[in-house]
């Protein structure tokens, strides 16, 4: 049986920027250390929330390197290395391995898309050429292509494919995947508002946006579920629905960066084409942060 890369809360870490748009590596070190001290179980660097599509390859790898060094083996560091060009994904994965990443997050090919046959061939090609465990990342709302349960099943036996970050929101797919793959593929929620429902079916936690701001909260919620207190975990899921929802009031990671800046973390702007929130969204998000005590009124 495969060993899961982690159980519980893995933060999909933002990439902090200076006001001129350059990466703030010193702030990234601070965030990594704070996240671990707050109790998260893993860190995912250079994913969607980390603005990976706007990072040049060298910046991308340096972000992974800084996170690995700052984490110092206290928690696993999982590097986003997916691409819509298969050989580029392999190359970035090799570079991530060289700087010490513990695993890979591999988004489905975007824009050029592919068939289900192409998806399976893409991931098998990569998995045959890397030495780190892979988490498949299913987010069809962004990529335009998603897995079927049959494709998950076709990949489940590969020793380098560890599990799935499921952000499709399709619970029929999720339930069918658990039924077909059982313990051959682990699963983590890719949506903060669906963490406990997925864990109730057998998921191991979440790769979370909200935990950038509230790492202890999300880690505690996952811990309750893993320890069998599903009622307590479900109560937290419901109590914080407004926060989880409003952190997606506009395109991720614009709201989480805005929220962290409001809360005093000074993580800087997002890179174009991402931008600041509209005044109406900023007002609503601030009201939510005040409601939960992250920002003073």
> Which residues are catalytically annotated?
137, 165
Q: How far apart are CA 104 and CA 96, in angstroms?
A: 8
The answer to whether residues 235 and 270 touch, using CB atoms and an 8 Å cutoff, is no
CA distance 128 to 159: 9
Dihedral over alpha carbons 130, 204, 143, 247 (to 10 degrees): -130
Q: CA end-to-end span of the chain, whole Å?
A: 51
8 A C-beta contact, residue 189 and residue 198: yes
- Find, among 41, 184, 23, the residue nearest to 102 by Cα: 41
H or E element in which residue 12 lies: strand 8-12
């Amino acid at each position: 049986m495969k060993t899961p890369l982690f159980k519980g809360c893995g933060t999909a870490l933002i990439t902090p920027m200076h006001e001129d748009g350059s990466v703030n590596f010193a702030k990234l070190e601070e965030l990594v250390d704070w996240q671990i001290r707050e109790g998260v179980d893993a860190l995912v660097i250079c994913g969607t929330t980390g603005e990976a599509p706007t990072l040049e390859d060298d910046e991308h790898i340096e972000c992974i390197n800084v996170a690995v060094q700052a984490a110092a083996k206290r928690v696993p560091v999982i590097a986003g290395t997916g691409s819509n060009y298969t050989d580029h994904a392999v190359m970035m994965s090799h570079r991530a391995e060289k700087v010490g990443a513990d695993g890979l997050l591999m988004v489905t090919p975007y824009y050029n898309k592919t068939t289900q046959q192409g998806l399976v061939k893409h991931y098998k090609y990569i998995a045959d050429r890397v030495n780190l465990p892979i988490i498949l990342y299913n987010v069809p709302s962004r990529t335009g292509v998603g897995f079927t349960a049959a494709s998950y099943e076709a990949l489940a036996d590969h020793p380098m494919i560890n599990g799935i970050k499921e952000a499709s929101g399709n619970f029929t797919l999720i339930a069918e995947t658990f039924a077909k793959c059982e313990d051959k593929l682990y699963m983590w929620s890719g949506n903060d508002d669906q963490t406990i429902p997925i864990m109730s079916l057998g998921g191991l936690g979440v790769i979370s946006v909200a935990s950038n701001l509230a790492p202890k909260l999300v880690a505690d919620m996952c811990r309750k579920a893993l320890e069998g207190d599903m009622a307590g975990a479900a109560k937290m899921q419901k109590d914080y629905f407004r926060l989880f929802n409003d952190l997606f009031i506009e395109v991720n990671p614009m709201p989480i960066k805005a929220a962290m800046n409001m809360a005093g973390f000074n993580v800087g702007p997002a890179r174009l084409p991402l931008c600041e929130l509209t005044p109406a969204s900023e007002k609503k998000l601030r009201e939510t942060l005040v409601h939960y005590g992250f920002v003073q009124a």
